Amino acid sequence: MALAVAALLALLPLAASGQDAPPEPDGYRQDNYRAPTPAGLQGARTVTTAEAEKLWRGKAAVFVDVMPHVPKPKNLPPGTIWRDKPRFNIPGSTWLPDTGYGALAPATEAYLATGLATLSGGDRARPIVIYCQRDCWMSWNAAKRALVLGYTNVIWYPDGTDGWQEADLPLEPAQPVPRPGE
């Protein structure tokens, strides 16, 4: 039994170091978004919770949450009660939901581009931390899109709100940035 536990513990540093992480795909992840992510993203800086916290406390970066959001269906019968699923994100973050899917509608791509331009003040070198949850490809895809849009200081925080909460750091209720026409 002790040998089995020792063997298991010997594997933990390997997994934590990202050596078991899947390779980076050439394009965007198109499905199965809640799955292990690569250890990094070429062209972006990947940060731990401690590093993200340092950026947050120093107000050294813009934080962007890309967690999907299920909107209230427009065709609900009158009198139907709708309860929006609450989202808690890193204080001061901006929530640009649904911008991490593999394929985006032109309106969603424009929503992301406009949101990043607004948050960065048009400065594509401004540090932008993009996150979602742990083992979620949404943040990886969105960070890759930011790179394609010409942002040069993209920071991917793969542990997202899961890592933040585990470190007992504050979270606050969030509302998504409205899309044009909402």
Q: What is the pLDDT of residues 45-91, one digit of tens each?
A: 999 999 999 999 999 999 999 999 987 788 888 888 888 888 999 99
Q: Is the confidence at residue 6, as pLDDT, over 50? A: no
- Among 8, 9, 7, 41, CA closest to 22: 41
Instruction: Work out the burial of residue 128: count CB atoms within 10 Å of its CB; fewer than 13 is exposed, 13-18 middle, 19 or more buried.
Output: buried
Distances (CA, A) of 40 to 77, 79, 93, 133, 155: 45, 47, 22, 15, 10
Tell me the CB-side half-sphere exposure of residue 94, using CA atoms within 13 A.
20
How far, in Å, CA of 91 to CA of 53, rounded? Answer: 11
The predicted pLDDT at position 74 comes to 84
Domain membership flag for residue 9:
no
- Residue-range definition of the domain harbouring residue 53: 40-71+86-182
Number of domains in the chain: 1
Domain membership flag for residue 118:
yes
Domain membership flag for residue 158:
yes
Tell me, what CATH number does 137's domain have? 3.40.250.10
Domain membership flag for residue 20:
no
Q: What is the pLDDT of residues 37-53, one digit of tens each?
A: 999 999 999 999 999 99
**Conformational region of residue 98, where left means phi above 0, alpha means psi within -120 to 50, and beta covers everything else:** left
Domain membership flag for residue 55:
yes
Domain membership flag for residue 3:
no
Domain membership flag for residue 94:
yes
State the pairing for strand pair 94-95/87-89.
unpaired
Domain membership flag for residue 173:
yes
pLDDT tier at 142 (50, 70, 90 boundaries)? Answer: very high
Q: What is the mean pLDDT of residues 148-153?
A: 98
The predicted pLDDT at position 19 comes to 56
